[in-house]
A = this chain, B = another copy of it.
Amino acid sequence: MMKELEIRTSRRAEMVDITAKVHTAVSDSRVVSGVCTIFIPHTTAGVTINENADPSVKQDIMEFLEKNIPHRGGYHHTEGNADSHIKAALVGTSVAVLFEQGELLLGTWQGIFFCEFDGPRQRKIWLNITGD
């Protein structure tokens, strides 16, 4: 079963917690147990799973990426977002999350984050929910 989520990002670079949206999509699917594949159909955004308790973790991740892959650099791509493409390549465009009894199986401190690297924009998230 395929589902599409939409989000509106509000900054050039930010991590947006989409755990609740993914959880609702999985619950609504009526698939009891299986794997939810989360796919980002954009080339300047990604998806990752990390701590959702202390927001400074998101800040450290984004600052690390910005420091090592600066917005303005000696890039060949001339649209002003070469850094965004590189960040997306490192973070990745898909993750898999397991679920049982309609509940996402995540560790205590884990959340699922949409990673915006060239916003603010309207963005899509595609889900495939497979199982029994």
- Cβ-closest chain B residue relative to A40: B107
With a CB–CB cut-off of 8 A, which chain B residues contact A2? 33, 98, 100, 105
**Does A27 belong to the interface (CB within 8 Å)?**
no
With an 8 Å Cβ cutoff, the count of chain A residues facing the other chain is 55
B86 contacts A61, C-beta separation under 8 Å: yes
**Does A57 belong to the interface (CB within 8 Å)?**
yes
**Does A68 belong to the interface (CB within 8 Å)?**
yes
A41-B110, A54-B77, A77-B60 known; A94+B95 contact, CB < 8 A: yes
A98 contacts B57, C-beta separation under 8 Å: no
Q: Nearest-CB distance from A123 to chain B (Å)?
A: 10
